[in-house]
């Protein structure tokens, strides 16, 4: 029979279900590709975080390439530490509050020798102290057991470079050294003791 065209009177095509003709390898391929698909999304999906775009694989990777040397990374951490431990007394703007804490912004103690200022959070401060021409007489508790070396270095770096302050960052190694030096000192320094620390340290 000439099958040039669909003969008008031919029956419609039928999909007989006699033999399935479904090759096993095709279902195998389906399973394999589904596995690959899951792997692919896992590998390149950036954990479904909308901030992960382009060649970066995760937000951790993005955070690790942020333009910062140690001091900026420290300052970032220091901001966190400050907002957790220090802000209640020294206030968010670093200006302190009467009866609570002296100001840090513009404070000559803060911007002075790192070895001097590092001792303050390490062991606390008590008694009269002159800050920016004003007399303060309060009681700052020791953070010796609350903050570790890195956190102390971080918060000092932050404080020394915020609110108009400009000073060198504080090294973690320096804080380690100070911690060793004040290991036997009882809590709370006084202003007189601190003034004995030479400026060069």
Partner 1 sequence: MNYGSVIFLGVFATFVASWWGMIFAPQLQLGSQQPKVPEGASMAYPTLRPGVAAQGHKVYVAAGCVQCHSQQVRQQGYVFDVLLTGTTNQQGTAKALYALGIKDGTQLISSATDTTPQPVRKNISQAEANRIQKTLTDSGATAPMLFIPIGADIQRGWGFRQSVAQDYLYENPVQIGNSRLGPDLTNIGARQPDAQWHLRHLYNPRIDIKGSTMPAYQYFFEKRKIGKTPSPDALKLPPEFAPAAGYEIVPKPETLRLVAYLQSLRTMTPLFEAPMTQLPQVKPAGDTNAPAGTNAPTATNAPTPKTNSPSTNTPAK
Partner 2 sequence: MNGSTSTSSAPSLRREDVVRDIESSAATPLALMFFASLAWLVVSAVFALISSVKLHSPVILANCEWLSYGHTRPAANDTFVYGFASQAGIAIALWMLCRLGSVRLFAPIGATIAAIFWNVGVALGTVGILRGDTTGFEWLEFPTYGSAMFFCAFLVLAVIALVTFARRHDRELYPSQWYIIAALLWFPWLYTTARLLLVWHPVRGAMQFLVNGWFASGLFTLWLGALGVAVLYYFIPKLGNGQLYSRALAILGFWTLAVFGPWMAGLYHGLPLPSWIVSVSIAATVLTLVPLVATVMNLWNTRRFPASDCARIWFTTSLIFFAITGVLNVAVALCPAVPLTVIVEAAQVIALYGFIGFALFGAIFQIVPRITGADLTCGSRGKLTWWCTMLGILFFSGALLLGGFVQGRKLMDGSVPSIDIMNAMKPFIRASTLGLLLLLIGNIAIFGSVAKMLYDCCRRCCSCCCPGDKQAKDAKLKTARAAR
Output the smallest distance, CB 167 to partner 1, in A: 10
For position 75 contacting partner 1 by CB under 8 A, the verdict is yes
Q: Which of residues 77-96 bind partner 1 (CB under 8 A)?
A: 78-79
Torsion of CA 63, 67, 73, 78, to 10 degrees: -90
Structure tokens at 105: 């912004």
- Quote the CA–CA distance of 67 and 30 in Å, as a whole number: 45
CB of 16 to partner 1, least distance (A): 13
Instruction: Candidates 19-27, 57-65, 96-104, 181-189: pick the segment binding partner 1 (CB under 8 A).
Output: 57-65
- Burial annotation 119-137 (CB, 10 A radius, 16+ → b, else e): bbbbbbbbeebebeeeebe
Residue 23, phi then psi, degrees to nearest 5: -70, 145
Binders of partner 1: how many residues, by CB under 8 A?
A: 28
Residue 56 vs 163, nearer CB to partner 2: 56
Question: Which C-beta is closer to partner 2: that of 16 or that of 65?
Answer: 16
């Amino acid at each position: 029979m000439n099958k040039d065209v669909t003969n008008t009177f031919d029956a419609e095509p039928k999909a007989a279900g006699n033999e399935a003709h479904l090759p096993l390898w095709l279902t195998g391929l389906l399973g394999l590709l589904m596995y690959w698909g899951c792997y692919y999304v896992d590998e390149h999906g950036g954990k479904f975080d909308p901030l992960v775009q382009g060649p970066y694989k995760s937000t951790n990777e993005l955070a690790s390439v942020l333009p910062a040397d140690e001091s900026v990374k420290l300052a970032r951490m220091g901001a966190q530490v400050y907002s957790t431990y220090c802000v209640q007394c020294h206030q968010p703007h670093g200006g302190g509050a009467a009866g609570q804490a002296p100001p840090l912004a513009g404070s000559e103690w803060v911007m002075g020798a790192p070895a001097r200022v590092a001792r303050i959070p390490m062991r606390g401060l008590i008694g009269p102290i002159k800050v920016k021409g004003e007399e303060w007489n309060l009681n700052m508790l020791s953070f010796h057991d609350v903050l570790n070396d890195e956190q102390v270095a971080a918060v000092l770096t932050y404080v020394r470079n915020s609110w108009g302050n400009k000073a060198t960052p504080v090294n973690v190694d320096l804080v380690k050294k100070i911690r060793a030096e004040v290991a036997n000192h009882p809590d709370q320094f006084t202003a007189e003791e601190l003034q004995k620390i030479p400026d060069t340290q």
